Amino acid sequence: MNGTLASKLPYSTPSPLAEADRDRVVDALNQLLADGLDLHARLKMAHWNVRGPLFPTLHPLFEELADGLALHNDAVAERAVTLGGLARGGLRTVTAESSLGAERPDVTKDLEVVRVVAGDLETYLTGVRAGRSIADGAGDTDSADLLTAIVTEFEKHAWFLRATLGE
C-alpha cells in the first residue's frame, strides 16, 4: 500500500476502531480504490476493443466484470468514508497510485486480451488480499468481510480466464 495520504480522517464516524487503525485501513481502501478504478477502465477497454473468434463471448463477459467491479469500487469508497476518511478516486490519483502497471491498449486479439485481463485481475487480487490483512490486523472485520467478498468473486473470474487460456 502506498500510504501517501496525510491526515486522512476529517469526519466523525460510528466506528469504534482507534483512529490509527482506521487511518491504516482508509489508506488500504484508497489503494484498492485506485487499483479498482484502473482495472474498471481496463475492463471497459477490453470490452470495446477485443477482436477474434471469441468476441461474442468475451465482449459481454468484460462488460459484466466491469459492472460488478464498479459496485465493489463504490462499496470500498463508501467504507473509507464510513471510517471517517476521504475516498480518493480522481483520475490523477488513480493514475499516480494504481499498482496495476502499464496498460496494454494495443492488445486486441481475443486470447491475448484474456491473458492481459487475467494478469490485471491477479495483480488487483494481490492488493485486495493485502488490504484485507491490514483490516484484519486493525480488528476491522467489516472491511475484511467486504474485501473477502471481492476476493471470492474475482478469484473465480481470474480462474475462468485462466481456464479459457488452458492454464
pLDDT for the residue numbered 2: 44
The answer to whether the CB of 31 falls within 8 A of the CB of 131 is yes
Task: Give yes or no for residue 67 having a pLDDT over 90.
Answer: yes
- Identify each DSSP E strand in 10-150 by its residue range: none
* 12 found inside a domain: no
User: Domain of 23?
Assistant: 19-164
pTM: 0.92
* 8 found inside a domain: no
* 154 found inside a domain: yes
The answer to whether the CB of 132 falls within 8 A of the CB of 148 is yes
Task: Give yes or no for residue 8 having a pLDDT over 90.
Answer: no
* 70 found inside a domain: yes
Confidence of residue 3 (pLDDT cuts 50, 70, 90): very low
* 60 found inside a domain: yes
Q: Whose grid coordinates read 494478469?
A: 119
1 or 108: whose pLDDT is higher? 108
Alpha-carbon distance of 85 to 73, in angstroms, equals 15
Average pLDDT for 77-81: 97
* 57 found inside a domain: yes
Average pLDDT for 50-73: 97
Task: Give yes or no for residue 6 having a pLDDT over 60.
Answer: no
Confidence of residue 11 (pLDDT cuts 50, 70, 90): confident
Q: From the DSSP assignment, how many helices (H) and strands (E) are in the chain?
A: 5, 0
pLDDT for the residue numbered 7: 44
CATH number at residue 66: 1.20.1260.10
- For residue range 128-138, list pLDDT tens digits in order: 999 999 999 99
**Total domains, the chain:** 1
Question: Could you please report the per-residue DSSP string of 125-136?
Answer: HHHHHHHHHHHH
Average pLDDT for 119-124: 97
* 87 found inside a domain: yes
Residue type, 34: A
- For residue range 16-50, list pLDDT tens digits in order: 899 999 999 999 999 999 999 999 999 999 999 99
Confidence of residue 141 (pLDDT cuts 50, 70, 90): very high
* 14 found inside a domain: no
Q: How many other CB atoms are found less than 10 A from the CB of residue 79? A: 23
Half-sphere exposure of 121 (CA within 13 A, CB side): 26
Alpha-carbon distance of 74 to 16, in angstroms, equals 22
